[in-house]
Amino acid sequence: MPTEGWNLEHTYTKLPQTFYCRQMPTASPKPRMVMLNQGLAKTLGLNADKLKNTPELFAGTELPPGANPIAQAYAGYQFGHLSKLGDGRAILLGEQITPDGCRFDIQLKGSGKTPYSRSGDGQAVLSPMLREYIISEAMSALGIPTTRSLAVTLTGKHVIREKALQGAVLTRVASSHIRMGTFDYISVFGTEEERKQLADYSIWRHFPWLENPENGEENKYLLLLREVARPQASLIAKWQLVGFIHGVMNTDNMAISGETIDYGPCAFMDAYDPNTVFSSIDTAGRYAYQNQPGIGAWNLCRFAEALLPLLDENQDKAIELAQREIEIYWEAFNENWLSGMRVKLGITHAEPEDVGLITGLLDLMEQHELDYTNTFRALSVPDNQTSPFIEIPALAQWHEKWKAKLERQPQSFSDSMDIMKQNNPAIIPRNHRVEEALTAAEQGDFSVADKLLQALSKPYEETKGYSSPPESTACKYRTFCGT
């Protein structure tokens, strides 16, 4: 095996070429690695010490052994409207087989034009690539399913956006890049046989136990819909619980694996406001924080539509079956959200009144524009004299109800505090801290990003200077997709 540890296969290329096109990445004239995720490299079976000296492998100039580069075809309902898309600036090199037999896609993002680029230049710039690295690694540390970032490499080229910016390539790692939009694409532009091939490949790749379901009478494609729906419900509930806003939940940005993918105009909420939108292009608030669970269901409906011919020959029966799976999604989301909120409040003994206690707190947080992360964290520090639960009368009243709830539990108050500290992060990638890191990086100083990443790697521990919100959240923070 090569000294870097590469062990690449490419099973996706066994599908018909309707699904992809072969495409070499564009070579970078002066590649320079500025970020390497050594922990992730080790997990993948790669030698980080060797990789540090091979930036050309992460910038498209050279290919790792066994690479078989392609650009994937897919479509997507973008803000509700179907568009024919594809990897316009990404190249999938192959699937790294880890020492323990797991399989992960290795993709170069920002590696040049492909047949799917449309009017784009296929390139990426430093800030959005580094931003995806920071936030995806923060999500991983929070225990939220996500694609990961292996490296960020400067290309040595300038890319024209509003001005000339430093070109960069992100190396992204995912359990796969099969999107709901991949099914949208095949259902509209492919054949019935190709639809079945994609579904069978997805089952083989992510849900192999469906090949021989326990109940042999159940349709494996119906079970595929169910297996995709449940992780989506869990994932979006986790987003809600930490105040994460994806920003662009088009079906092409939703992976069937249940991993968070495509960190474009995403951000974490500071002051609690269910209507929070960060994306500069989401002018109508379609993907606002409070809308994410419903958009998850809407996207699953589109996924189910792509599967209908495989669910039952009778379309009405197929629709009925699919509708039940969407109901299961909502049941799973509500269960995940409620159980997650309970542990955020230290509740171990469930009671019907818990829902009112939770929503009552959220209403007060919205009314008083309280910081989402720090308000929950403050509950686990009972002697904090600057706590909003002491300073605001309405919150003080809620606090008494909450304490009475905990006193009815068999667990001690101290045990509840421990549960809360393990489920309420002290540190999230605050927007102003991320911007500080990106600004410094553009000037050649990556130490700010390194320190931020170090703090984010231990989100449930206090790190001085990283838990405070910005001085003012009155001005609306805006994010951009980076294309």
For 113-159, the DSSP string reads: --TT-TTS-SBEEHHHHHHHHHHHHHHHHTT--B-EEEEEEEEEEEE
pLDDT at 1: 42
Distance from the Cα of residue 424 to its chain's centroid? 19
Residue 160, SS3 per DSSP: strand
pLDDT tens-digit map of 34-76: 999 999 999 999 999 999 999 999 999 999 999 999 999 999 9
Mean pLDDT over 308-326 rounds to 97
Global pTM? 0.95
Lookup: tokens for 409: 């539990």
Residue 33, SS3 per DSSP: strand
Task: Say yes or no to pLDDT of 267 above 80.
Answer: yes
- The percent of residues above 90 in pLDDT, for the chain, comes to 87
pLDDT at 467: 87
Neighbour-count burial of 304, counting CB atoms closer than 10 A to its CB (0-12 exposed, 13-18 middle, 19+ buried) = buried
Task: Say yes or no to pLDDT of 381 above 90.
Answer: no
87, 252, 262, 270: the active-site residue: 252
Residue 431, SS3 per DSSP: helix
pLDDT at 474: 43
* Alpha-carbon distances, residue 255 vs 96, 109, 144, 341 (angstroms): 18, 16, 14, 25
E strands within 221-319? 244-245, 267-268
pLDDT class for 475, splitting at 50, 70, 90? Answer: very low
Residue 136 CB: number of other CB atoms within 10 A?
26
pLDDT tens-digit map of 395-413: 999 999 999 999 999 989 9
* Alpha-carbon distances, residue 444 vs 125, 160, 166, 383, 449 (angstroms): 14, 19, 11, 43, 11
Strands 32-36 and 148-160 turn out to be antiparallel
Task: Say yes or no to pLDDT of 215 above 70.
Answer: no
**Helix 220-242 vs helix 192-206: angle between axes, to the nearest 10 degrees?**
60
Is the separation of the CB atoms in 464 and 426 below 8 Å?
no
pLDDT at 326: 97
SS (H, E, C) 163-216: CEEEEEEEEEEECCCCEHHHHHHHHHHCCHHHHHHHHHHHHHHHCHHHHCCCCC
How far apart CA 65 and CA 237 sit, in angstroms, is 39
pLDDT at 473: 53
pLDDT tens-digit map of 76-97: 999 999 999 999 999 999 999 9
Residue 416, SS3 per DSSP: helix
**Is 100 labeled as catalytic in the residue annotation?**
no
How far apart CA 345 and CA 417 sit, in angstroms, is 9
* Alpha-carbon distances, residue 215 vs 35, 209, 210 (angstroms): 48, 12, 10
Mean pLDDT of the chain: 94
How far apart CA 140 and CA 136 sit, in angstroms, is 6
Which residue type, as a one-letter code, is found at position 138? A
